[in-house]
Structure 1
Amino acid sequence: MTTTTAPTDTDTSVHTITDSPVGPLTLVVRRGGLAGVYMTEQRHLPAPETFGPRVAVTDHPVLARTAEQLAGYFAGDVRDFDIDLSVSGTAFQQRVWAALRDIPYGETVSYGELAAALGQPTASRAVGLANGRNPVSIIVPCHRVVGANGSMTGYGGGIDRKRWLLGFENGTRQPVLG
């Protein structure tokens, strides 16, 4: 593994890869905040060259804090994340991602319920599209959104990971995923 020292320019992107029970997670920092948490085989994965150089997790305070809080989450000690974000998206996507952070640990809502909470009850498909474009999965818990009948629907990291995360949050012992 090759790492470099993290650049100090706040506009520069850097990344690291950390292990988790749902497989390796690529953490990306841009403009001084967390810009990405990507799983292997993630849908809507940006081009890897946009991640910037790979650095050690300890080389950047946002990477270190994110890795620490993710470890706490997977240990069952962290339920809410306190990490500065620097995510890019449309105004609507930003509203959806903010609403996702209000879904309590271990609970789910449907796409329609989330659309209604945003004051746009007919926008469940648009909510689904914005949900699928969430660049900081787990931190912004898009896995907590399910179909109207409670069914497991699309997840950028794959349905198996979504099922794992929901089961984990509900206290079901989960095997480690790939």
Structure 2
Amino acid sequence: MHVYLETPIGPLKIIGNEKNISEIQFIKHDELGEDAPTTCLLEAKNQLSEYFQGKRKNFDLELNLSSATEFQQKVWQGLVQIPYGKTKTYGQLAVDINRPGAQRAVGGANNKNPIPIIIPCHRVVASNGLGGFALGAEVKKWLLDHEKTA
């Protein structure tokens, strides 16, 4: 099941069921169309809307990360600990999850994050600049700037 949300960075497709959210995808406008939304999906849509309006800094949603490896789950749990409006480097996050020196693996786990924004992989930057982002550098920069000004 899924719902859509128009955002300043483009339309999002929020995928889940009646209990949890499993994925957020950035899509094209011609892909819009919704299933019958569940309470969980509507709540995710509402919380993401509040985030983009600058009214929400933390999410309170059940997430389905069952397909992730143990390492990915550890990285993603570390991501949710990065405060709104703040950033960490890949190396700092590796230290935080007790895997010093694993910054490349942390980057790989970030790239596999199925629930961006809610699991804020955009808050991890390279030690020499912005770093990569699966959704593109412009989207990452927008999200970071949004959090600094909200």
TM over 0.5: yes
1:103 aligns with 2:82: yes
**Aligned position for 2:48:** 70
Deviation at 1:159, TM superposition (A): 0.8
1:23 to 3, 10, 32: 10
RMSD: 1.8
State how 1:158-177 maps to structure 2 within 5 Å: 158-171=136-149
**Aligned position for 1:113:** 92
1:89 aligns with 2:68: yes
Which residue identity lines up with residue 164 of structure 1 in the other structure? W
**CA distance in structure 2 between the aligned counterparts of 1:124 and 1:31, rounded to whole angstroms:** 35
2:83 is paired with a residue of what secondary structure?
Answer: coil
1:103 is paired with a residue of what secondary structure?
Answer: coil
State how 1:50-65 maps to structure 2 within 5 Å: 54-56=34-36, 59-65=37-43
2:24 to 25, 31, 37: 37
**Aligned position for 2:107:** 128
2:106 is paired with a residue of what secondary structure?
Answer: helix
TM-score under structure 1 length normalisation: 0.77
C-alpha distance after superposition, 1:68-96 (max 9, x if no partner): 00111111110000000012210000000
Deviation at 1:54, TM superposition (A): 3.8
Moved over 2 A (4+): none
Normalized per residue, which structure has more helix? 2
Kindly, what percent of the aligned residue pairs are identical? 40
Contact preservation (8 Å) 1:30, 1:86: no
**Aligned position for 1:7:** none
**CA distance in structure 1 between the aligned counterparts of 2:34 and 2:146, rounded to whole angstroms:** 29
Q: Which runs of 5+ in 2 are unaligned?
A: none
Which residue identity lines up with residue 97 of structure 1 in the other structure? W
Q: Which runs of 5+ in 1 are unaligned?
A: 1-13, 42-47, 173-178
TM-score under structure 2 length normalisation: 0.91
Deviation at 1:31, TM superposition (A): 7.2
**CA distance in structure 2 between the aligned counterparts of 1:166 and 1:118, rounded to whole angstroms:** 22
Higher relative contact order, chain-length normalized (CA < 8 Å, sep 6+): 1
Deviation at 1:55, TM superposition (A): 1.1
Which residue identity lines up with residue 9 of structure 2 in the other structure? V
